[in-house]
Every structure is written in structure tokens, then in C-alpha cells.
């Protein structure tokens, strides 16, 4: 059985999109941290663009489903945090270009 790396988890999370923005959560800068413990439970610390995000449940379900589909993953824990607050500056260069955000 293979154990996914943090990078493989991050790549898998690029399949999860914020439905309002139509862009993946990794490049939007919503994923803050990924930890994989000895039992191969993946813990994702993430945020949303706003605390009242109407797509919160959909995004978290997408994260859980995508990671549970990864070979070797035995569980998923999502820690939704609001500190530090998300800002457009957290986006990847490609996402900033797509949305017209300047550094």
C-alpha cells in the first residue's frame, strides 16, 4: 500500500473547485496546511474566501471525497479556520493573473 505525499495530496485538491469562483481551492490559496499522520489520516487546515461562504459544505465535501479516493488514505480531517483571513494575495500567480489581481 502506498502512502500519498503532501504534494500528491495538494495536487489531488486541485480537483476541488470553489463553485462561485470556478477555480481550484489550492490555487485560490484556501489550503493552508496538509499533515499526514502514521495512520495515513490526512489533516487539511483550510479557509474559505468569506466566513459566510454559501459553498462551504460543498467545498468541504469535495475535499473529503477527493482525499478519501486517494490510494492509501484511511481518513480525512478538515480544520476550517478564519485566521489568518483569506485575501486575494494568497492566490497562486496563475490565479492572480486569471482574476486580474496585482501583487
CATH number at residue 32: 3.30.300.130
Q: Going by C-beta distance under 8 Å and a sequence separation of 6 or more, which residues neighbour residue 98?
A: 23
What's the pLDDT score for residue 2?
Answer: 87
pLDDT band at 36 (very low <50, low <70, confident <90, very high): very high
**Mean pLDDT in the chain?**
96
Q: What is the mean pLDDT of residues 55-73?
A: 97
Query: What whole-number distance in Å separates Cα of residue 68 and Cα of residue 76?
Result: 7
- Indicate whether 38 belongs to any domain: yes
Biggest CA–CA distance in the chain, Å, is 44
Question: Is position 98 within any domain?
Answer: no
What pLDDT is recorded for position 1? Answer: 65
CA distance 35 to 55: 24
- The answer to whether position 50 is within a domain reads yes
| Residue range 91-97: mean pLDDT, rounded | 97
**Is residue 23 in some structural domain?**
yes
User: How large a percentage of the chain has pLDDT more than 70?
Assistant: 99
Residue 1 lies in a domain: no
More confident residue, 27 or 52: 27
The domain in which residue 27 lies consists of 6-82
In a domain, 101, yes or no: no
- pTM for the structure as a whole: 0.94
Residue 10 falls within a domain, yes or no?
yes
How many domains is the chain partitioned into structurally? 1
Amino acid at each position: 500500500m502506498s502512502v500519498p505525499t503532501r504534494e500528491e495530496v495538494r495536487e489531488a485538491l486541485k480537483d476541488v473547485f470553489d463553485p462561485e469562483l470556478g477555480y481550484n481551492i489550492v490555487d485560490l490559496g484556501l489550503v493552508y496546511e496538509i499533515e499526514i499522520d502514521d495512520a495515513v489520516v490526512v489533516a487539511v487546515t483550510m479557509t474559505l474566501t468569506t466566513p459566510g461562504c454559501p459553498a462551504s459544505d460543498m467545498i468541504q465535501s469535495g475535499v473529503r471525497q477527493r482525499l478519501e479516493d486517494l490510494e492509501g488514505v484511511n481518513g480525512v480531517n478538515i480544520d476550517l479556520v478564519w485566521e489568518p483571513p483569506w485575501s486575494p494575495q494568497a492566490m497562486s500567480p496563475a490565479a492572480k493573473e486569471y482574476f486580474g489581481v496585482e501583487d
